[in-house]
Chain A
Amino acid sequence: EDKVVQSPLSLVVHEGDTVTLNCSYEVTNFRSLLWYKQEKKAPTFLFMLTSSGIEKKSGRLSSILDKKELFSILNITATQTGDSAVYLCAVEMIQGAQKLVFGQGTRLTINP
């Protein structure tokens, strides 16, 4: 069965800290791995990763994929209270459609 596991499930840090969120997967027919940020409603797209070892960066956020070890990390540096959210990792399959298999999410809380 296709599976995506995120860790930790919950994380509380102080503003200014750096955090690393983990995502491991066991799926058949991998196409890509995506990270989303979900605050109240819509998951907001952050990154799409298809190749191993190539870091994607957007401001204080960065992510990298390891297709050999089947995991990805999302780093957030100099965290701010606005980074508080649930971060979702999803794997896209090659099965004739863009089915996404999601992990449970990591709830990140940034305290001032």
Chain B
Amino acid sequence: DAGVTQSPTHLIKTRGQQVTLRCSPKSGHDTVSWYQQALGQGPQFIFQYYEEEERQRGNFPDRFSGHQFPNYSSELNVNALLLGDSALYLCASSGGLGQPQHFGDGTRLSIL
């Protein structure tokens, strides 16, 4: 039973570019959340998707956008990259309210 899978594992971009990160939730999970984790910090909530709609959004600018597909997989898009966007981007999935979120290994994004 595959857990949460994310791709790519590492990515290097330059300022101003755009990036797309991908996530496949654990089997049986329909809710996907995205988090940003800076070095030495706890993860910060970006947004959550359920039934292909953004259900809640954290304190992140509109440069961060997402999508959920009918198979529950999800993408995180970041436009006009800044140096401060360098971080580990984690995807988490769950089977619904009252169930714990399970995390993927993340995508390490480096902005030069």
Enumerate chain A interface residues (CB-CB to B < 8 A).
4, 31-32, 34, 36, 41-45, 48, 88, 90, 95-105
Report how many A-B pairs have Cβ atoms within 8 Å: 65
Give CA–CA (A98, B4) in the complex, Å: 17
* Nearest CB of chain A from residue B54's CB, rounded to whole Å: 9
Q: How far is the CA of A96 from the CA of B102 in the complex (A)?
A: 19
Q: B1-30 toward A: CB 8 Å interface, digit per residue (1/0)?
A: 001100000000000000000000000000
Q: List 10 A-B contacts (CB under 8 A).
A: A41-B106, A42-B90, A44-B103, A45-B103, A96-B55, A96-B56, A99-B48, A100-B45, A101-B45, A105-B41
- Report whether A99 and B42 are in contact in the complex, using a CB–CB cutoff of 8 Å: no
Pick from B33, B40, B50, B100: contact of A34, CB under 8 Å: B100
Contact B106 A104 (CB under 8 A): no
Contact of A97 among B48, B88, B103 (CB under 8 A): B48
**Chain A binding site: helix, strand, loop or mixed by DSSP?**
strand
A100 — which chain B residues lie within 8 A by C-beta? Answer: 33, 35, 43, 45, 92, 101
- What is the distance, in angstroms, from B104's C-beta to the closest C-beta of chain A? 6
Query: Chain B, interface size: which category?
Result: 20 to 34
Q: Is B110 an interface residue (CB 8 A)?
A: no
> Which of A31, A42, A90, A95 is close to B104, meaning CB atoms less than 8 Å apart?
A42
Mark B residues whose CB is within 8 Å of A: 3-4, 31, 33, 35, 40-45, 48, 50, 55-56, 58, 88, 90, 92, 94, 97-98, 100-106
Do A99 and B58 contact each other (CB < 8 Å), given the known contacts A42-B90, A104-B41? yes
B56 and A102 form a contact (CB under 8 A): no
**B103 with A36: CB separation less than 8 A:** yes
Q: B42 touching A90 by the CB < 8 A rule?
A: yes
